[in-house]
Structure 1
Amino acid sequence: MQFGYSEVCLAHDPGSRHPETPDRLRAIRERLKRKHGVEYVNADPCDLETMAAVHEQAYLESVKQFCADGGGNWDPDTTAVEETWDAVRHSVGLACWAVDAALEGQNGRKTPFSIGRPPGHHAVYDDAMGFCFVNNVAVAAQHALDTDDHDVDRVAIVDWDVHHGNGTQDIFYERDDVFFVSIHEQGLYPGTGAIDETGTGDGDGTTLNIPMPAGTDDQDYLSAVEGPIVSALTEFDPDCLLISAGFDAHRHDPISRIRLSTEAYALMTDRLRTLADDTDAALAFILEGGYGLDVLADSVAIVHETFDGRAPIEPDAGCSDKAASTLEDVADEHGLEHDFDG
């Protein structure tokens, strides 16, 4: 794969006790040293005008000034230093690079994966939260739609971070040109992402939330991908498919109670790559969360290995009863056929 990366993203340092540390990127880079076919690409930082396509401009200017004044605690979870604004601009710029690369035909072993930070999927239209200041994947999706050369009419976003991507949902909730999917742990921060949150107005039906019970595992997530996610997005027929790739649903991540193995990320990658191929959609990955350094690095590496020719190991067990019940409710809410092995 091609990995979008900038040293500038390391300068955003919210403190030694904060889970969203620069060591996340260092761990990924160290792990990828062992892999074949890894390429790194830098990108231009994103300008305020491009970010303002999905965020309130006054809010963006306030974040820029907040950092220029030395930063501090925006809220109890979201902390900035003077260098944070530059890191944000480079993180968003890398996400836009990933979209450009995918839409210019980079796929297979050249599939782009942006590993910028800070992450973005909790940032709403006019506020920061959950470690996020600017919504990287939302800006990238809008960039795909706004760039004439790309000829993109529909973008799909699949967010497999363990936390609901409330910011991405907020930004596109009333629109029909972006289909947002979030599979996340039920009841976890930020408390949004219920099954009946499906969009309003023109966006009615273009938000699909799958709040999974604590303790669900690889086969449960794979059933969600193969079932409602593939069904809904095949019908939507996107021109571009973006993965909000958080890795904090791993069983060894310190922040959640979902029980995914590293192999689960290979399985989901394989199925979503097939979906992109079947719908002729450009495919790109954009890093979100993941706070156990070793399992974060291993999980990013296995996504790369999947594109480098490694076949994922299929799980033996079927979908659990509690996950099957959730997936049936999701399918019913969206009028999708279902037959889950509960």
Structure 2
Amino acid sequence: MQFGYSETCLEHDTGPRHPETADRLRAIRRGLAKRHGVEYVSAAPADKPTVTAVHDDAYVDEFELFCEDGGGNWDPDTVAVEASWDAALASAGLSVWAAQSALEGASGRQTPFALGRPPGHHAVEDDAMGFCFFNNAAVAAQAVIDAGDADRVAIFDWDVHHGNGTQDIFYDRDDVFYASIHEDGLYPGTGHVDETGTNGAEGTTLNVPLPAGAGDADYVYSFEETIAPAVERFDPDLFIVSAGFDAHRYDPISRMRVSTEGYAMLTECVQAVCENTDAALAYVLEGGYGLDTLSEGIAIVHETFDGRAAMEPDEDPTDETEELVAEIRETHGLGSK
């Protein structure tokens, strides 16, 4: 894979006890150093007009001034320093690079993955939250639409937390499809089955709120039976994965049971959908707070694109997952199982 990377993202200093730390990127680099075929690419930071295409102008100006004044706690979880402004623009720019590169033909072993921080999927149009300031995946999707490079974009969020910001930004848009598999009831408490879009965009949001303890088989089954057919019906030009690795069974802040191998399984699921729809594919980093599990997760995604075949789940989905999938299929008109 090609990994978009910027040293500027290391300068976003959240303090010694914050889980979203620059050590995350350092751990990823160490893990990838042992792998074959890794390429690092730099990218221009996003400019303000690119960011304000999805974020409110006044909010972006407020965040810029907040950083110029030295930063601090935007909210109890979301921390900035003076350098966070440049880091946020760099992170958004890496995501735009990934989307543009995918649409220009980068695929297979050259599939782009933006390794930016701060992450983005909780950032709403007019506010920061959940460690996020600019919604990187949303900025990337809007940038390629505005450039005329894509008419329709799908975003699949496998972070353990629901990407409320991405959902909100595109909730009334019929040209962007947002799908999320996340832990039900976890921060920020959004992402229910009946949240499907509004104002002519009904059906372009699909949420799979799995119960705590869900594992590989639940994730794969949920994707194949709900998200895959819905994305194929939507027929996007570009498929962006908001790739958080905090659903890992050993991540310190979630209760899910996805294994490292599970991320290889999900990667093959994504590859199959993109092959069926002829969609370009790009990855954007979101969460993941166990340094070992984060680096292992990204490494296994890379190895899958390098030709390694994923194993099959070693168990069946739970009855609860099958019932949830049946509800989602009915809600989205995908037929009964």
Shorter-chain TM range is: over 0.9
How far apart, CA to CA, are the structure 1 residues paired with 2:144 and 2:274? 16
Cα-to-partner distance string for 1:33-86 (whole Å, 9 max, x where unaligned): 000000000100100001010000110010011001000000000000010000
CA distance in 2, matches of 1:139, 1:329: 31
- Counterparts of 1:195-214 in structure 2, within 5 Å, are 195-214=193-212
Match of 1:251 in 2: 249
Partners of 2:16 and 2:225 lie apart in 1 by 41
Q: Aligned partners of 2:133 and 2:252: how far apart in 1?
A: 23
Question: 1:220 corresponds to which letter in structure 2?
Answer: D
1:141 — aligned with what?
141
Task: Give the residue type in structure 1 aligned to 2:60.
Answer: L
Counterpart code for 1:16: P
Q: Which amino acid aligns with 1:294?
A: D
Q: Which runs of 5+ in 1 are unaligned?
A: none
Structural mapping, 1:85-100, within 5 Å: 85-100=85-100
Partner of 1:26: 26
Q: Which residue does 1:166 correspond to in 2?
A: 164
Aligned to 1:201, the other structure's residue is in SS state coil
Q: Which residue of 2 aligns with 1:329?
A: 327
Distance 1:205 1:275 in 2: 18
Deviation at 1:225, TM superposition (A): 1.0
Quick one: which amino acid aligns to residue 271 of structure 1?
A: C
Equivalent position of 2:269 in the other structure: 271
Instruction: Give the C-alpha shift of residue 337 in structure 1.
Output: 2.4
Cα distance in 2 between the residues matched to 1:179 and 1:233: 8
**1:181 matched residue in structure 2:** 179
Secondary structure of the structure 1 residue equivalent to 2:326: helix
Structure 1 position 195, deviation (Å): 0.4
Q: Deviations over 1:273-318 (max 9, x none)?
A: 1111110100000000000000000000000000000000111322
Whole-Å separation in 1 of the counterparts to 2:121 and 2:315: 32
| Corresponding residue for residue 121 of structure 1 | 121
Separation in structure 2 between the aligned mates of residue 18 and residue 326 of structure 1, nearest angstrom: 34
1:308-335 deviations in whole A, cap 9, x for unaligned?
0000011132211111111111111111
Alignment of 1:1-342 (within 5 A): 1-148=1-148, 150=149, 152-339=150-337
What number of residue pairs does the alignment pair up?
337
- Structure 1-normalised TM-score? 0.98
Q: Which residue type is aligned with residue 166 of structure 2?
A: T
Q: For residues 24 and 324 of structure 2, what CA distance do their matches in structure 1 show?
A: 32
Name the CA distance, whole Å, in 2 between partners of 1:78 and 1:126: 15
Please give the secondary structure, in 2, of the residue aligned with 1:285: strand
The residue type paired with residue 320 of structure 2 is K
CA–CA distance in structure 2, aligned partners of residues 115 and 202 of structure 1: 34
Identity of aligned residues (%): 62
* Cα-Cα RMSD: 0.6
Work out the CA distance in 2 between the residues paired with 1:144 and 1:267.
Answer: 28
Unaligned stretches of 5+ in structure 2? none
- Give the distance between the partners of 2:201 and 2:56, measured in 1 at CA: 20
1:225-244 deviation per Cα after TM superposition (whole angstroms, max 9, x unaligned) = 11101010000000000000
Deviation at 1:338, TM superposition (A): 4.1
Q: Which amino acid aligns with 2:81?
A: V
Tell me how far apart the structure 1 counterparts of residues 144 and 292 of structure 2 sit (CA, whole Å): 33
Question: Partner letter of residue 73 of structure 1?
Answer: N
Letter in 1 for 2:216: D
Q: Whole-Å Cα distance in 1 between the matches of residues 40 and 182 of structure 2?
A: 29
Q: Secondary structure at the match of 2:207?
A: strand
CA contact (8 A) 1:227 1:338 kept: no
2:266 is aligned with what amino acid? M
SS in 1 for 2:208: strand
SS of equivalent residue, structure 1 residue 286 = strand
Per-residue displacement from partner, 1:74-102 (whole Å, max 9, x unpaired)?
00000000100000000000000001110
Please list every run of at least 4 consecutive aligned residues from structure 1 whose deviation after the TM superposition is greater than 6 angstroms. none
Please give the secondary structure, in 1, of the residue aligned with 2:241: strand
